[in-house]
Structure 1
Amino acid sequence: TQAAMEQLHMYYSSAVNESSIEAVKEYINGVTDTKFQDLCQSVPPDKAPTCLLKLCENLFLIMRSYYLLVDWNVKNDVDEVTNNVFDIEKNVSREYIRQKLKAGLVRIWHDVQAKVSTFLKSSGLEECPFEKFIQSLGILRKLTQVAEVFCGDKSDILQDFIKTQSVMYIKNYHRGRMDELRLFLE
């Protein structure tokens, strides 16, 4: 049971990694690097918002799959209370599975959050047009709402990155407008 649960979680962690790489690879040209951070840095700023959307869609599907697995287990897990030694062992095994599946929700969310955070740090999202940036913030807000339903996490790490990216965007946007104003006044 323990080995099976570890394999299940490794499968989902691997799926998060592979689907993240596949989502980002669609938006870059000719880069063969397999490090996710390097791939994110290769995404052109004008493609970053749509890449973020694709990344979040892929990761959402994995989260949904795991959530449905946990839900199925809860619905099909029937407690039978008996004093039989074999049944006691079976009940201990069931409880172990329940706990591991519940812990897996948080584990998978942290993997997802790490991929999205890496993308945000590396993609140059702060250089995209204002409308696209706002759209990206909307995508991230939805993702944090999904996380709260998924595992009850408030997404503090992702919220911090959203704040950081927003400040960087506003500074970059302001700098650009000031340069335009300076040119206009000269």
Structure 2
Amino acid sequence: TFRKLKKAYDLLGKTQAAMEQLHMHFSSAVNESAIEAVKPYLNEVSIEMKFQEMCQSVPTTKAPVCLLNLCENLFLVMRSYYLLVNWHIKNEEAVPNSSNVFDIERNVSREYIKQKLKAGLIRIWHDVQAKVSTFLKSSGLEEFPFEKFIQMLGILRKLTQVAEIFCGDKSDLLQDFIKTQSVSYIKNYHRGRMEELKLFLE
């Protein structure tokens, strides 16, 4: 179990190194989960393809469902990390304040883990936000039918709500993007309708 594994690292004095490895694993998981989420919606996939290129290759008709799949996959990584943080909080061992070198080391290590886990929440969310933003910038939102555009906004709204619970972040990057894209989309949509009306009247 994770408890036994953690104890083994504690005994080896490798707790901090283990925590570094754990965070590297989660960063990698965000990247891999994002790629795996987008892959099924591509007509062709090559090993050399970067994530951004994959996003650009998703057909417009499949983009909303692809975004949903992407968010779901990334949510699972976030959930896993969130549970890990909670596990550490619940299973934190009280270390007495003493001048004993071993106890001092344990206190330092415990504080390090606490800070690292807290920082990890923000870091993972930023990684997730970056992946979603990359997808959105590459998906040609302005070409979407109105219903699909609204659907995507709904997915993004849910994601920002999850982020606030996850790490208290207001998702400024994503919120700004949503705002900018919404204004741009509405302008284009309005222009398109006006042109249709003009043609009709002529």
Do both proteins adopt the same fold according to a TM-score greater than 0.5, normalized to the shorter chain? yes
1:166 matched residue in structure 2: 182
Alpha-carbon distance in structure 2 between the residues aligned to 1:22 and 1:129: 26
Pairing 1:181–2:197 present? yes
Deviation at 1:3, TM superposition (A): 2.3
What CA deviation, in whole Å up to 9, does each residue of 1:24-70 have, x standing for no partner? 11111013252111111111111111111111000100000000000
Say which of 151, 155, 168 aligns to 1:152.
Answer: 168
2:44 partner letter: G
1:2 partner letter: Q
2:68 partner letter: L
Alpha-carbon distance in structure 2 between the residues aligned to 1:167 and 1:21: 29
Alpha-carbon distance in structure 1 between the residues aligned to 2:93 and 2:142: 51
2:18 matched residue in structure 1: 4
SS at match of 1:70: helix
Say which of 13, 16, 23 aligns to 2:37.
Answer: 23
1:185 partner letter: L
Name the stretch that deviates more: 1-10 or 140-149.
1-10
1:137 matched residue in structure 2: 153
* Residues 73-84 of structure 1 mapped to structure 2, 5 A cutoff: 73-83=88-98, 84=100
Structure 1 unaligned runs (5+)? none
**Once superposed, which parts of structure 1, at least 4 consecutive aligned residues long, lie more than 3 Å away?**
none
TM-score, structure 2 normalization:
0.88
**CA RMSD, 1 decimal:** 1.3
TM-score, structure 1 normalization:
0.95
Aligned residues: 186
Contact 2:64–2:151 at 8 Å: present in 1 too?
yes
Deviation at 1:172, TM superposition (A): 2.3
Percent identity between the aligned chains? 81
1:133 partner letter: F
2:3 matched residue in structure 1: none
Greater Rg, structure 1 or structure 2?
2
Pairing 1:119–2:132 present? no
Structure 2 unaligned runs (5+)? 1-14
